Structure 1
Amino acid sequence: MRALSRSARLLSLLVLLAAVASIAGAQPTSLDGAVVRVVDGDTIHVRLADRVEKVRYIGVNTPEVHHPRKGEEPGGREAAEVNRELVENKRVRLELDVQSRDRYGRLLAYVWVSAGAERADGAGPPQSRRDESENWIMVNAELVRLGYAQVMTVPPNVRYQTLFLKLQRDARESGRGLWKGV
């Protein structure tokens, strides 16, 4: 019985140490900044407190504007323009997921913009997922909803996969954005 008690205490201590270590090494789950450049439909540069980061939107993909082998893909300019209207020179919150960087060193994030910003197409408040406590709009989801981005799930970053798939289905069925005539 005493050995079980000692084992239980040792296990408890190990769990506690693991928890403390993960908290000490944990990265922030969100970062606030301002967009200083829109690269294309799914990549922006954001000024954080002490640096500028190249940020790639998690869970979505837009046609390329500057692809090294393919050149410009159909719809690339349109997707980049919609992204520009949503975020250019605006304050954003970057929500991080499990994997924070891709193989190119870009910061991976769900990008939130203040809902108080004027809508790109002037059609009232966006329908995408919102953080009601602060009234922010997720740009990743809004691009999919408007039909200018497709879902691209890359595990382990799958937090909003179900939402993105629903928004894509709705955009496609409604013929919005790049889905017109498809």
Structure 2
Amino acid sequence: MILFPASVFAHPGTLDELGGHFRNSDCTYLLHEPTALAKQAKTKEELVKLIQKYNGNERCKRNLTPERIDLDGHTLGGKEDNASLRLGRTYKAALVKCIDGDTAKFRVNGHVYTTRFLFIDTPESTIEVEPYGKEASQFTCSRLKKGDIVLETDGNTLFDKYQRLLAWVWVDDRLLQEELAKAGLVEDFYDYGDYKYEQRIRKAYEEARQNGVGIYSGHSAEEKPKVDSKTKAEPAQTNPQTEEETNKADRERNREQEERTSEPSSGLVLYTLLGAAAAAGVYWLIRQLK
């Protein structure tokens, strides 16, 4: 049996036991989702030792230094105080990173939380790109970057099985989940309990379906709606009476033109007479010379 190093099979985005991975281009260690093991480190020097022990990328960890560790907004020095968060409360938040249509990282009370938006599912746009996934991600990120953010916890639990904070997301007093549903960018729902704004989201979702918005427009994200042949502009109808009158006027003009061209003009008659007189004069002069 042939054994290969774990790093051979590791996708650049696969997380190790500490919740991070090396960026192969420059061997920077990115700590995306610190696990309980990673939180034991109080300094970057201690984290270096843990990475060298638990990460399988031999090439990168050989020359790892504290300067090559990116904490991705997280802090060292012990377990984050999740007890500071309570269900049914609101918290001011600052955007750290957009992830996709229904997930983002926020800083709350000095800690960074990967946050899963309560109740909704939008199309994927990270590992797998689904139709309207990029549109949902862009919609969410553009909203989060333009307003004041408040997270509201709800339901029966603060975190899901991936240790992501579950919250309603308010941006300038507008519920982001509801805006996504109205835009036709919500494809499904999930339930971890009974939620405060569930009916609002369902109503917006049904309106988007009925109005054919976003996912429910019947077109792919790249496909532009075709113009219905029935709605195309048709040539203007010509009034038969007007056309007949126009043809009659044309015939009269043509007839007048023919009459004018058939009658000799006065100028032509005069020119003919002068020519005849000149010819007679020349003839008389020749006779006299003889």
TM over 0.5: yes
Structure 2 CA distance for aligned equivalents of residues 181 and 85 of structure 1: 25
Please state which structure has a larger fraction of its residues in strand. 1
Instruction: Give the deviation of 1:25 after TM superposition.
Output: 9.6
**CA spacing shift, 1:167–1:78, aligned 2, 3 Å:** same
Aligned residues: 135
Structure 1 CA distance for aligned equivalents of residues 206 and 213 of structure 2: 10
Match for 2:126: what amino acid?
H
Q: After superposition, where does 1:1-182 map in structure 2 within 5 Å? A: 27=86, 29-67=89-127, 71-88=128-145, 90-98=147-155, 99-114=157-172, 136-181=173-218
1:32-56: CA deviation from partner (whole Å, max 9, x where unpaired): 1111211000001111221111111
Asked which structure has the greater CA Rg, the reply is 2
Give yes or no for contact 1:144–1:168 (8 Å, CA) kept in 2: yes
**CA spacing shift, 1:141–1:74, aligned 2, 3 Å:** same
User: What secondary structure does 1:39 align onto?
Assistant: strand
Please state which structure has a larger fraction of its residues in helix. 2
Match for 2:138: what amino acid?
E
Aligned-residue sequence identity (percent) comes to 30
1:85-136: CA deviation from partner (whole Å, max 9, x where unpaired): 111264311010122110000000000011xxxxxxxxxxxxxxxxxxxxx0
Structure 1 stretches of at least 4 aligned residues deviating more than 3 Å after TM superposition: none
User: What secondary structure does 2:209 align onto?
Assistant: helix
Structure 2 CA distance for aligned equivalents of residues 166 and 155 of structure 1: 19
Give yes or no for contact 2:121–2:190 (8 Å, CA) kept in 1: no
- Greater shift, 85-94 or 161-170, is seen at 85-94
TM-score between the two structures when normalised by the length of structure 2: 0.44
Supply the RMSD in Å over aligned alpha carbons: 2.1
Give yes or no for contact 2:119–2:190 (8 Å, CA) kept in 1: yes
Q: Which runs of 5+ in 1 are unaligned?
A: 1-23, 115-135
